[in-house]
Amino acid sequence: MRCPYQEGDFPFPVKYGYALVGEPLGDKDETKRAPVFVLHPHQEFISVRGDDVHPLPDKVPPRRAVLAANMETALTATWDSGVGAGDRVLVVGGGVVGLLTAFVVASMPGTTVTVADILPERAEVAERLGARFCLPEAAPADQDVVFHASASEAGLACALASAGQGATVVEMSWYGSRTVRASLGGAFHSRRLKLISSQVGRIPEDRALRWNYARRLATALSLLAEPALDALITDEVAFAELPERLPAILAPSASGLMTVVRYD
């Protein structure tokens, strides 16, 4: 679970992060100084291997490109789920990863995608990304595929309850060291549900012979060409202000989505 170029360990001190966008230095050819994406912790200047640098597609602005690592997670979960055109899909948890997953799946022909979240203000963003919205208590039943991305026991219970006969529930949440209870009684067995894990650290086995990490990241970057995804970036903070601002950004009560760190 360590990130590229990470130093130290949690809780602190640790140099962590994996969504850095910047401009290469030291080349007189300005065409080689176009913005790039790097899986690297937060800092002002970095020195990395050339293979770890990924040029941004022409239609993806640097600010939006910070979503690339989370888009990789959404893309991998979509692969893991086996979702197909025309499916009814529920995403439980309208955070950045859940909304990106909804966006990817909603682009498939004929799919009906619903995002369930406890915050009604997430409805506008979900709808801009091509999905419907509901509160968890109104989540639709008989879904073909359900993605769980709320990192809560209540969210997992909602996901399992909404899955149709023989459906797949994809667990995307990262619980850390927490132990969570799963509702595997009731109709779990009689409906023959499949509960599977999805984690971005590895490429799914059915694609690993053809895909590598560079190809997956390039694909994730290309999926960020849609301007509506700017709605996922709800705050911006200067790098020098992070020590003061970080507690509020990381607080459980924080209502925003993605915060961009700006290097002045």
pLDDT tens digits, one per residue of 151-186: 999 999 999 999 999 999 999 999 988 899 998 998
Kindly give the pairing relationship between strand 233-238 and strand 258-262.
parallel
Average pLDDT over residues 102-120: 98
Query: 24-38, pLDDT tens digit by residue?
Result: 986 666 656 789 999
Q: Which residue has the higher pLDDT, 113 or 27?
A: 113
pLDDT band at 53 (very low <50, low <70, confident <90, very high): very high
pLDDT at 220: 98
Q: Does position 83 have pLDDT exceeding 90, yes or no?
A: yes
Average pLDDT over residues 115-142: 97
Average pLDDT over residues 28-51: 86
pLDDT at 12: 80
Point out the least confidently predicted range of 104-108, 127-131, 249-253: 249-253
pLDDT at 172: 97
Q: Does position 10 have pLDDT exceeding 90, yes or no?
A: no
pLDDT at 250: 87
Whole-number Å distance between alpha carbons of 112 and 166: 18
Average pLDDT, the chain: 94
pLDDT at 31: 58
CATH numbers and ranges of domains, the chain: 7-68+213-262 (no CATH), 72-197 (3.40.50.720)
pLDDT at 30: 63
Structure token pair of residue 110: 């004929």
Whole-number Å distance between alpha carbons of 80 and 232: 24
| Residue 54, strand partner residues | 37
Q: Does position 1 have pLDDT exceeding 80, yes or no?
A: no
pLDDT at 222: 98
